[in-house]
A and B are shown apart, each in its own frame.
Chain A
Amino acid sequence: MQRYSLFSLARNALTSHRNWQAAWRSPPLRDHYDVIIIGAGGHGLATAYYLAKNHGITNVAVLERGWLGGGNIARNTVTIRANYLRDESLPFFVKSVQLYEGLGRDLNYNIMFSQRSMIDVVQTYPKMRDLKRRMLAMDIYGSTYEPISVAELRRRIPSLTGGGPDSRLPIIGGMVHPNAGVARHDAIAWGLARGADDYGVEMHQNTPVEKLLRRSDGSIAGVATPRGDVFADRVAVVVSGHTTTLTETIGLRLPLRTYNLSAFVSEPVQPFIDVVVNCPDSGFYLSQSDKGELVIGGATDPQQSFRRGIKESVFEETVSGMLELFPSFKRLKLLRQWGGSLDFAHDASPIVSKCDVPGLYLSCGWWGGFKAVPAGGLTLAHLIATDQPHPLIESFSLDRFNRLDYVIESGLTSTR
C-alpha cells in the first residue's frame, strides 16, 4: 500500500500527481470466498478491515449494491458520541469513540476526526433528569457529561438567542459531552476500504445481492447476484434498512421495521458554531461542517418507509423547532436534503448476532450507526471469526427477544 504522508504528497506534487495508486483494487469476482460481507457501508467495511487485521481472515468479499460509500455511511450527520445509559450499550459506544480516536493513524488516512464536544440544550425538567442520570452512568464507564448553566450555554453557542424566559420552552440548562465529535463520512469508508484492500480483502461494487442461498441442511451456502452465485460458509448481512428484504428470501423473520431518517444542510457560512448542538426537547441537532454548511437532523418519518427522501411534515417540524432556538437561521438558505433507510429493532437497540441459519451473521437495528462503525466492525469480525459473541455485544444477540430480555436504551435520538 502506498503510504500517505507529507513527503508522499510533496513527491507526487513534483510529478503533477500522476503517480498515485488507486486506493483499492477492482479484482474479478470469484465464485467462492471464506466470508462474504453484504454491504460496503461503514459497518461492512469495518468488519472486513478487522476480520483481516485482528483475525487474519483475508479471503473476504464485500459486495455492494451501489458504489462504495454511497449508502448510509454517506447519509448520516457524522456525529460520534457515547452519552448512553445502559450497562449493555455504554461500554460498546465508549469503545467505539476510543477506536475513532485512533482510527486515522491506524488507517494512515485522514478521517478528519474533530472531537469538538456535543452540547445538549435542555428545555424540560424530565430531560434534565434523564441526562443527569446518564451522567452518573457514564462516569462509571469513563465517558463524560458535565452540566453547565444557561449563561455558559449561551456563551459557548452565541447564536443560541431563542429559548428565553418568556418562550414556550425556556432553556433551563445544558450538558456538555466532551468525548463527542464529528468525522468525515467519506473518509471513513475510503480509509477502511483501503485498509482492508491492503490485507487482500476484495470490494465488489455494483454487485447487488438478490437473495441468500441455503444448503439442504439449512446452513448458509452463499448469495445470488446478477454477476452469478457466490459461495461462502459464512455470510454477514450488513445492509441497514434492507435487512428483512434479504433475510425474507430464506424465510427468516426478524423483529425489524424500516424507517426513513432525513437530514439537510444549509449554504456554507463563516465558522460560528464549534460544537455539535443537540436540542432533544425541540427535536433537532446540528453541527457546522468544515465547508461551513450547517448539517441539521431531526426525527424519523412517523411511518415505515423505504423511500430515501425527506418528508415535508418532518422537515417543517425540524425547521420550526430550530428557528425557535436559533431565530437568526431564518436567513440561511438550505441547499440539500436527503434520507436513509434504517431498521428499527423491536426494542430499538442494535442486533449483532448469529441466527437460526448456521453461518449467517446479522448486524442490523443500528440507529445512528455512524458512531458505532469501528466497534460494530470490531465485534462483528470477532463473531464471524470465532462464532462467539464479543463481550461488548453479548447483550445485542437476536435471542434476547426469545427471552423478552430487551435493551431499552434512552441514549437514542429516537427517544424524546
Chain B
Amino acid sequence: MLIITCPWCGARDESEFICGGPEKPPRPENASDLSDGDWIDYLIVSPNPTGWLAEKWWHANGCGRWFTLERHTVTHEVRPFSGDDVSGEAVSGEGKHASHP
C-alpha cells in the first residue's frame, strides 16, 4: 500500500486515490497541421519506462483534487513531481522519465 501525499490533504492511504495513468505531453495546439503519424503517436503512445514515471492521480475518496506525482515503476517509490515539463524528454541532468537501469 502506497502513502500518497495529496497537495491539499497531505499524506493519505493509497485506497483513497485512483490512478489516472501516465502524464502525457500537452495536447498539440496545431493538431490539424500534424502528420497522421504524429497525431496518432500523441493519441496512443504513453511513456512506459522502467524507472520514474510522472503520473496523474485523483483523490477520488477525498478532496477530489487531480495532481501529478512521480512513481518508480520497479520499486513503487513515490516522490513529488519535479517540474511542469511533460514533454517526455529528460530534464536537467537526472532523467525525469528515466532511463533503463
Contacts and interface: CB of A to CB of B under 8 A. Distances in A.
Contact of A302 (B19, B37, B53): B19
Contacts of B19: 302-303
Interface string A111-145: 00000000000000000000000000000000000
A363 interface: no
Interface string A388-416: 00000000000001101000000000000
A102 to B, nearest CB: 37
B76 to A, nearest CB: 6
Given A306-B74, A307-B74, A401 B44 contact: yes
A65 to B, nearest CB: 13
A242 interface: yes
Contacts of A313: 1, 14-15
A245 B76 contact: no
A314 to B, nearest CB: 11
Given A254-B45, A258-B48, A313-B14, A304 B40 contact: no
A304 B48 CA distance: 8
A402 B45 contact: no
A155 interface: no
B101 to A, nearest CB: 10
The contact size tier of chain B is: 20 to 34
Given A304-B55, A307-B76, 6 more contacts: A255-B44, A303-B19, A304-B48, A307-B73, A307-B75, A343-B48
Interface in A277-306: 302-306
Interface of B: 1, 14-15, 18-19, 21-22, 36-37, 40-41, 43-46, 48, 50, 53, 55, 71, 73-76, 100
A240 interface: no
B100 A245 contact: yes
Given A302-B19, A305-B76, A313-B15, A257 B46 contact: yes
13 contacts: A242-B50, A256-B48, A257-B46, A258-B48, A303-B21, A304-B22, A306-B73, A307-B73, A307-B75, A307-B76, A313-B14, A401-B40, A402-B40
Contact of B73 (A253, A302, A305, A312): A305
Contacts of A253: 41, 45
A23 to B, nearest CB: 32
A251 B1 CA distance: 34
B50 A306 contact: yes
